Structure formats: structure tokens, C-alpha cells
Amino acid sequence: MSASSIWHPFTQHGLGEPIPTVARAKGAILHTADGREIVDAISSWWVTTHGHANPRIAAAIAEQASRLDQIIFAGWTHKPAEELAAGLRAIMPAELTRVFFSDSGSTSVEVALKMALGFWLNRGEPRHRILMLEHGYHGDTIGAMSVGARGVFNRTYQPLLFDVGTIPFPAGREQDTLDALERACRDGAAAFIVEPLILGAGGMLTYPPMTLAEMRRICAVHGVLFIADEVMTGWGRTGTLLACEQAGVVPDILCLSKGLTGGAVPLAVTMATEPIYEAHLSDNRAHMFFHSSSYTANPIACAAANANLAIWRDEPVMERVADLCRRQADYFTALTAHPAVTGARRLGTIVALELGGGRGYLSDLAPRLLAFFAARDVLLRPLGDTVYVMPPYCISDAELGRVYQAIEDACALV
């Protein structure tokens, strides 16, 4: 039995796989307690944008921690939260006038779903059906699982999940997707939730901006609220600040987390349009928005997010993003030609390579790949047999070279 009593997420402890201890991290490098230097090629589960231990974010956290660490947010406010809400308003679409805080991507989705239902009920037209895109993933809480693809991640919890309408994924059959969405909207739905342009945990599956724009248009025609889950895609990952920008889409509700604090501490926001806020605005206390958690808008987390926004304002972040896209292009092209690579996708800073032909999340190739990459001191965590790269924007050429060399060598395992 392991000496540790920790139960890790998405980990089968029965397989006895080694769990390295990370002592510190800087930029794109994780330093383990036993002296290894590991390249973090997946931004520690897609959160780290500017690199680990960014000095501006670290300083903001330290300063805030000694000034105001935590305060109840029901009926109280504080400067870091006010500054952050104003900062988000300044860079996010102007229609998204309201900012609701929570703690993770999953909770930002729960909040979005609850806002949608509150909107319809408070307007006296109770709609509750949620539509989702096939292969979608929105988190691991019950509501977020309910609006995600049913499969290995959530089979055990199926009896707790609520019924939703699933719109077929638009790969090569855009018209089917749009027709199905049109029908489902016509039948009456509260909201449609999507990951814009690329579905993350579903296997880094991409679809064109035009389809996203059409889906948004159909929802608008039928008054179905459009929820963009930019938890993964936000903060430059797809080459623009938001993926929605590439389709000229403004959602009714926007979920952001991960890169919101540069990936340093947990925080999320759900942004909403004025009509959604106004539907909850009344002198009737029963119409208030019933959602909260102990740490809503934690001041330390807000200070980290403000430092992140300052980095986006003062530093050439989009140039770094564009540069990272460019630097990965040649590796991508070369690997696409490899006979072991059976599918390849690239969007912005994200590269996905399917090795050996799509055998699903529990493919036996996945643990072999994981062990191979670990032995090469590269943090890559394939989704089934889809290896994807989503590095912090500060990754050096040499570090990126190590990542792609490891992937090329791993092709021999297929």
C-alpha cells in the first residue's frame, strides 16, 4: 500500500502507477522532488497560460493575502472583485454586462444553467430543456456532467443525470447539426451549451467558425439562450482571446475559468447579458439568484486575475500566442505525415494527434503512452490515444523540441 493517503482525481490507484512529487515550477518546467525537470506540455490541465510562478501574479497574490484574504460575498464587496469585473467588462463582448463569480469551470457551468432556468421561470415562461453538442464536456459536477457526453467518465453516475437534447457533432455533416438544432429549438429549449470551435475532453475535436455562427443564429431566432463554455478555449488558447471571436459570436452567457488567473489559483466567472440579470431583478426575494459558495470572489483569487488582466494589457501576449502557433506548425506538418498518426487537428496553440486509430479513452495505448512520456520527462496526458499539446505561451524552442521529439518517438509504440 502507498504511504500516502491521498485519493487522486482520474487516477486508478489499483494500477500502482508512480505519482511524482513536484517541488516547484517555473515557466514551462516542473521540478520534481527527486531532481527531474519535466516539460509541462499541457499547461497543468490547460490552466497555465503565462508560465508557472509568474512573478507579477505571485506578487499580487502575496500582497492581497496580507491585506484581505477572504470575505463573505453575499451583501459585501471588495476592490479586487470590483476591479476584476470592470476589467472583464473592458475586454469581453460589451453585451455581457454582468459578472458572477465562482470557483471552477464546473461551477461556472452550473451557474450558467441555473441562470438560464431562472431567466425563463422569472419571465413566466418556464423552459428547462438544455441542449448540448455531441462529445461535449463541461465538468464533473452533476449538472455539468448532465450536459456533457455520456460515456466512460460518467457512466457510474448516470442515474443522477438529467435528460438533455444532444445535437450531433458537425464533423462533415454541418447541415445535420443545424437541422437538429433548429428542430430542438423549435420544440422549446431553455439553452444550448457549447464549447466553441474545439471540444476538449471529447478528444480535441474541431469544427468551423461558420458552424458556430450558424448555431448561434438559430438559437437567437428561437430565443434559446446560447451558453459558450470558454473554460478551455478562453485566454488565447485558440489563437484569439475567445474562440467565439473567430465566428463573430457573442453568447448570452459566457463561462470562463482556468486562464482567468493565469492558472495560478482557482477562480471562475459566468458573464451574462443584461436581460438575464434583469429577469432576476425584482422586489420579490424569491426571484434572486440562488447560488453561492463559501469562497465566491475570493479576494486573493481576484487579485491573481487582476494581475493576469494587467499582463494581457501590458505585455505582448497575443504575439506570444501567434508565435507559439507558428512554432508548432512545422512539427505538426511533419507528424501529420507519420504513418502512426491517423488523425491530426490544430487550432491556435492546441495540437492534437490521434495515434493508432481512435480506440477511445480506455484504449490500452493510453497508459503506455503516459509511461513513455513520463520516462522522457514530458508531461503529456493523452485522451485515449489522442495525444495533444497545449503548452504555456512562454515555452522555449528547446522545451517544445523535447515535447515533439517525445511524440515522434512514441509513434513507435503504436
Contacting residues toward ligand PMP, per CB under 6 A? 46, 104-106, 109, 137-139, 195, 200-201, 229, 231-232, 257
Q: CA angle 235-31-41, nearest 5°? A: 40
Cβ-based nearer residue to ligand PMP, 263 or 299: 263
Min separation Cβ 412 and ligand PMP, Å: 30
CB of 328 to ligand PMP, least distance (A): 20
How far is residue 27's CA from residue 203's CA, in Å, rounded to a whole number? 26
C-alpha cell at 149: 457526453
* Residue type at 84 in one-letter notation: L
Tally helices (H) and strands (E) across the chain: 12, 16
Q: Which residue is associated with the grid cell 512520456?
A: 373
Nearer to ligand PMP, 149 or 325 (CB): 149
User: What is the grid cell recorded at 327?
Assistant: 512554432
Residue 86: how many other CB atoms lie within 10 Å = 12
Of 341 and 379, nearer to ligand PMP (C-beta) is 379
* Residue 48 or 106 having the CB closest to ligand PMP: 106
Residue nearest ligand PMP by beta-carbon distance: 105
Question: Cα separation of 108 and 86, whole Å?
Answer: 18
Cβ proximity to ligand PMP: between 144 and 279 the closer is: 144
Cβ atoms of 168 and 176 closer than 8 Å: yes
Q: How many CB atoms lie within 10 A of CB 342?
A: 15
Nearest to ligand PMP of 141, 342 (CB atom): 141
What is the phi-psi region of residue 88: left when phi exceeds 0, alpha when psi lies from -120 to 50, beta otherwise?
alpha
Nearer to ligand PMP, 340 or 350 (CB): 350
For residue 293, the minimal CB distance to ligand PMP (Å) is 13
Longest Cα–Cα distance in the chain: 66
User: Which residues, 6 or more positions from 3, have their beta carbon under 8 angstroms from its beta carbon?
Assistant: none
Beta-carbon count within 10 A of 228 CB? 30
CB of 183 to ligand PMP, least distance (A): 25
Which of 268, 292, 276, 163 lies closest to 226 in space, CA to CA?
Answer: 276
Which one, 242 or 340, has the nearer CB to ligand PMP? Answer: 242
Could you tell me the smallest distance in angstroms from the CB atom of residue 6 to ligand PMP?
A: 18
Measured from the CB of residue 48, what is the shortest distance to ligand PMP in angstroms? 13
Q: Is 102 strand, coil or helix?
A: strand
| Minimum distance of ligand PMP from residue 206's CB (angstroms) | 14
Task: Tell me the closest approach of the beta carbon of residue 138 to ligand PMP, in angstroms.
Answer: 5
